[in-house]
């Protein structure tokens, strides 16, 4: 879907799951109290 993209998985504590792009936070499980739906992720970074 994004062949030129580079991803980094960062281990954390406290149940965090966040998606950031170029230093901008696009999604936070802690803020929204849920995981993103599968189809949300491409929309967030697209």
Domain ranges of the chain: 1-46
As a whole number of Å, the CA-based R_g of the chain is 11
Tens digit of each residue's pLDDT (9 = 90 or more) over 1-33: 677 878 888 888 888 999 898 889 999 999 999
CA angle 27, 30, 32 (to 5 degrees): 60
With cut-offs at 50, 70 and 90, classify the pLDDT of residue 40: very high
For 19-31, give one letter per residue: b (16+ CB within 10 A) or e: beeeeeeebeeee
- Please give the pLDDT value at position 37: 93
CB 1 within 8 A of CB 7: no
């Amino acid at each position: 879907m994004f062949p030129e993209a580079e991803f980094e998985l960062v281990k954390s504590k406290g149940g965090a799951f966040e998606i950031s792009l170029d230093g901008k936070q696009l999604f936070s499980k802690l803020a929204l109290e849920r995981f993103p739906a599968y189809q949300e992720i491409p929309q967030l970074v697209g």
